[in-house]
Amino acid sequence: MVDTAALLAAYDAQMRMPPGAVPSGVTYEHDGPILRVVGAHMGRIRAPRDVGVTGAELDRLIARQRDYFAARGEGVEWKVRGHDLPVDLPDRLRAAGFEPQDPSAVLLGLAAEVAAEPVVPDGIVLRQVTEPGDLRRIADQQTEVWGFDCSWVADDLAGRVSADPGHITVLVAEAGERVACSAWAVYHPGSEFVALLGGTTVPGWRGRGLYRAMVAARAREAAARGFRLLHVDASPASAPILRRLGFHQITTSTHYQWLPR
């Protein structure tokens, strides 16, 4: 039996603040207990499980983040897990104008158990990419699938590659010139964790194993590098696949988003 309480404890201890190389063009700023991520397509707030402040002091902390990014003309998102403290943090974020987005299931898998030889359908080529043109193709594919502008993905990936190419693996599954599926893995040095991100398949190639192949390939690389745990904030579409592959849900995550009007 997998000890999910131990997995959650490892997640809280190691995955709350982004470790490793800071992506090019991005800065990290501390404000009391939280970390403010500045310079990405949207501001991000990361925090420990227990923010450690309550009431009016918490309201002021939230308002400072909103007002900081408002002055920059930018939006900001605050990531809240389902077991975070204080329990009224979501209510106070909403009161400050932050809107909750759809929740994700936080799933963890054991890299050595998930790792496998990726199996792809005939006509598909799986390869690792780093060139700006390929990263733009990924952003275009993500925009096509999700139906909103994901052009920022190219800059985000390029910034990570530029900061330290050894801390990220970017994969595409191609059908000729077509990006059928894209995904990437971000390695967290000094921790047991690799974050699996992206994992987006165009409609015409769904149900044919591309997402599973991407998970297998990234898990194999993670295990080869000595990382023990895989982390995914999973959508309702991907969570059932990951559970069948042996991932375990430890909590939920919700992005509370504030956008300038």
257 in a structural domain: no
Give the residue from 55, 90, 105 where a domain finishes: 105
- Averaged over 86-115, what is the pLDDT? 98
Burial class (CB in 10 A: 0-12, 13-18, 19+), 37: buried
79 pLDDT band, cuts 50/70/90, is: very high
Same domain, 17 and 98: yes
Same domain, residue pair 114 and 68: no
Q: In the listed set 84, 105, 126, which residue is the last one of a domain according to the structure?
A: 105
3-state secondary structure (DSSP) of residue 108:
strand
The confidence band for 176, taking pLDDT boundaries of 50, 70 and 90, is: very high
Tell me if 259 is assigned to some domain: no
**Residue 194: pLDDT band with limits 50, 70, 90:** very high
Say which amino acid occupies 127. Answer: R
Residue 176 lies in a domain: yes
pLDDT in tens, 204-221: 999 999 999 999 999 999
Q: How many domains does one find in the chain?
A: 2
Q: Are residues 130 and 177 in the same domain?
A: yes
Within a domain: 82: yes
Residue 56 domain-assigned?
yes
**Mean pLDDT, the chain, integer:** 96
Which of 105, 138, 173 is a domain's end point? 105
**125 and 188 housed in the same domain:** yes
100 and 116 together in one domain:
no
pLDDT at 20 over 80: no
Do 152 and 243 belong to one domain?
Answer: yes
Q: In terms of domains, do 140 and 60 share one?
A: no
DSSP code of residue 21: P
Side chain identity at residue 57, one-letter code: E
> Which three-class secondary structure state does DSSP give residue 159?
helix
Least confident of 57-61, 164-168, 216-220: 164-168
Q: 248 and 136, same structural domain?
A: yes
What is the model's pLDDT at position 18?
Answer: 79
Residue 71 falls inside a structural domain: yes
**What DSSP designation does 23 have?**
P
Distances (CA, A) of 164 to 9, 21, 217, 238, 242: 28, 6, 20, 28, 28
Q: In the block, which residue shows the tokens 């450690």?
A: 52
Residues 223 and 95 in one domain: no
Give the residue numbers spanning the domain of 44: 4-105
Angle between helices 132-146 and 152-163 (to 10 degrees): 140
Q: What residue has token string 């997402």?
A: 211
**17 and 47 co-located in one domain:** yes
Q: What percent of the chain has pLDDT over 90?
A: 95
Above pLDDT 70, what percent of the chain? 100
Name the phi and psi angles at 7, rounded to 5. -65, -40
**Full-model pTM:** 0.94
Q: Is residue 1 pLDDT above 90, yes or no?
A: no
Domain with residue 154: its CATH number is 3.40.630.30
Question: Taking the CA atoms of the chain, what radius of gyration do you get in angstroms?
Answer: 18
Q: Is residue 83 part of a domain?
A: yes
122-127-132 Cα angle (round to 5):
135
Tell me: pLDDT of 74 over 90. yes
Q: How many CB atoms lie within 10 A of CB 247?
A: 26
In this structure, the answer to whether residues 167 and 84 fall within a common structural domain is: no
According to the model, what pLDDT value does residue 261 have? 86
Q: Residues 149, 49: one domain?
A: no
Q: 100 and 72 in contact (C-beta within 8 Å)? A: no
